Amino acid sequence: MKQFEDWLNGVTDPITAWLTTVNDWVYSWIVIIALVGTGIFLTFVTKGVQFRHVRTMFQHLKRSRQGAKGGITSFQAFAIGMATRIGIGNITGVALAMILGGPGALFWMWVVAFFGMATAFSEATLAQLFKQRHPDGTFRGGPATYILHGTKSPFLAKLFAAFMVFCMVVAMPMVQANSISGVLQSSHNVPLWISGAIIAIAAATVLIGGVRGIAKATEIISPVMALVYIVTALAIIVLNLDALPDFFSAVFRSAFGLDEALAGTAGGIFAAILNGTRRGLFSNEAGMGTNPNAAATATVDHPVSQGLIQALGVFLDTVIVSTATGFIILTSGVVDLSGLDSTASSYLTSQAVMGSLGTWMAWPFSIMIFFFAFSSILGAYAYADANMVFLGWTSKIWERGAQALAVLSSGVGAILAVPFVWTLMDSAMAFVTVLNLIGVLALTRWITGALKDFDEQHKQGNEPVFNEDTADLPSRLPTNGWVLTE
C-alpha cells in the first residue's frame, strides 16, 4: 500500500505545481477582486442588510425548525450549509492560511466574511426566488437556475452545474478525507489507507439515503460538532485570556506587513491577503455558489428569510469559529509557524489543542475532526444532487454513479498529498465562484425587490409572507417554487 501511495503522489506532484501557478494568478487578479468587489457592491445596494438585520437573523433561525410541510425545514437547509461551512475549513484551512500567510491571513478572512455576508444573503435569496417544486414536496435550485434566468445563457448555467458536480463529488470529499487521515495518522499512527476505507464505507452507508437522509444526518451532526468545537475553543480562550491582546496585535501587524517575523512561509502582506481570501472562501463559501443549493431546498414563507439565515452562517463560521482556531494555534505555546510547510496543516490545530488542554484531547479531537469532515462530504453531495437535477441527470444510473464517485474520492483523498487536494479544490472553487458572481450581479434588481417587500412587511410588525403579485420584482418568476398549491 505504501508503494501505491508513493506512486499516486508522484503522479500528482507535477499537476500540483502547475495548478499552483495558475491558481496564484487567478486568485490575485480575478477572484479576490470579484469576490470583495461584489460583496462591497451588494452591501451598498442592500443598505447593509448584514448589519441592520442581525436581530432578525437570530429570530428566524429560532423558528427555522417549523413549517416544512412535507419538505425540508429552513433549519435543515441551514444545517446542510453549515455542514460544509463549519468544519475542516475552520480547522485545517485556517492552519494552512496561517502557515502560508501568517496570522494576518485571519484579518483578510474577516474582511471576506463581513462583505461576504451580503453576498451569501443575496445568493440564498435568489436560490429561494428561483427554486423549483418537485412532486415529492421538496424543492431544488441554486446558482445554475438563477444563472440561467439572469444571464439568459443555458451554456453558462450548465457549465456551472457540471463544474459544481465535479467540485462536490471529487474535490470536496478529497479535502475532507485528507484532513481526517492526516489527524488520525499524526495523533494515533493510523495508516492512511485504513482511514480512507473507513470514510468510504461510512459515506456509502449514508449517501444511499439520498437528500432527505443527508438532511437528517447533518441536522444532528453539524450543530453538535460545532457546539463541541466552540466549547473546546472557549475553554482554551478562558485559560489564556491574558493572551488576547497579543493575539489581535499579531493578527493586525501581520495583516499589514508590519512584522516580518509573522509573514508566513509565503512571505509578506500579499501572501496574507491571498491566503486569507482563499481559505476564507473555502471556509464560509460566500459567493462560491455552494450554499444556495442548500438554501433552495428550504420551505419558508419568504425568500429573504432563508437569505438572512444563510448570511448568519458566514458570521458564525469565520468571525467566531475560524478566529477561535487562530487563537488556539497562536497561544498554544507548542507551535512555531515559521518552521512548518503546508503538509503540517492537517495536524497543526490538533497539536495546539493538546498543547493547551493536554494529550487526553487526542481522541476527542480526532473524533470531532472525523464528524466535521464527514458531514461536509454529505453536505457536498446534496449540492451535487441539486445540480444533477438541473442538468437532467436524474436517472438511477447517474445517482448511483455520483454516489460511487464521491465514495471513491473520499477513499483516495485520504492517501493523497495535502498540497494536491487543496490546490485541486482551489481551482474548482475559483471557476464556480466567478460564474456564480456573474449570475448574482445580473439579478441585483430581484434581490433588492425581494428585500424591499420583506422590509415593508417587517416594519409594519408583520411576519413577512411572499407573494410575487405584490412584491417589487422586475417580472413574474419563471419557476414554480412559489406557485400556491392546495
Average of pLDDT values for 392-405? 90
Q: Is residue 484 part of a domain?
A: no
pTM recorded for the entire structure: 0.85
- Rounded to whole angstroms, how far apart are CA atoms 118 and 115? 6
In 3D space, the residue among 116, 437, 142, 73 whose CA is nearest the CA of residue 285 turns out to be 116
- Rounded to whole angstroms, how far apart are CA atoms 177 and 3? 20
Using an 8 Å Cβ cutoff, are 410 and 173 in contact? Answer: yes
Q: Helices (H), strands (E): how many in the chain?
A: 23, 2
The helix/strand/coil state of 298 is strand
> 260: pLDDT confidence band, cut at 50, 70 and 90?
low
Q: Is residue 181 part of a domain?
A: yes
Q: What DSSP string runs through 25-91?
A: HHIIIIIHHHHHHHHHHHHHHTTSHHHHTHHHHHHHHHTTTS--TTSB-HHHHHHHHHHHHSSHIII
Q: Does residue 381 carry a pLDDT above 80? A: yes
In 3D space, the residue among 5, 20, 3 whose CA is nearest the CA of residue 423 turns out to be 20
Is the backbone of residue 309 left (phi > 0), alpha (psi -120 to 50) or beta?
alpha
User: Of the ranges 164-173, 301-310, 350-359, which one carries the lowest mean pLDDT score?
Assistant: 350-359
Q: Is residue 89 part of a domain?
A: yes
- Rounded to whole angstroms, how far apart are CA atoms 445 and 296? 19
Q: Does residue 210 carry a pLDDT above 60? A: no
Q: Is residue 467 part of a domain?
A: no
Query: C-alpha grid cell for residue 42?
Result: 451588494
Q: Is residue 464 part of a domain?
A: no
Q: Which tens digits make up the pLDDT trace of 306-349?
A: 999 989 989 888 888 889 888 988 887 655 666 677 777 777 88
Domain that holds residue 152: 2-459
- Rounded to whole angstroms, how far apart are CA atoms 67 and 457? 19
Q: Is residue 454 part of a domain?
A: yes
Q: Is residue 163 part of a domain?
A: yes
Q: How many domains does the chain have?
A: 1
- What number of other Cβ atoms are within 10 A of residue 126's Cβ? 32
**CATH number of domain containing 401:** 1.20.1740.10
Q: Is residue 477 part of a domain?
A: no
Q: Which tens digits make up the pLDDT trace of 41-54?
A: 999 999 999 999 99
Q: Does residue 486 carry a pLDDT above 50? A: no
Average of pLDDT values for 232-255? 88
pLDDT of amino acid 440? 95
Q: Which tens digits make up the pLDDT trace of 268-285?
A: 777 788 888 877 776 778
pLDDT of amino acid 163? 92
User: What Å distances lie between residue 400 and 223, 394, 438, CA to CA?
Assistant: 28, 10, 32
For residue 403, what is the enclosing H or E element?
A: helix 396-413
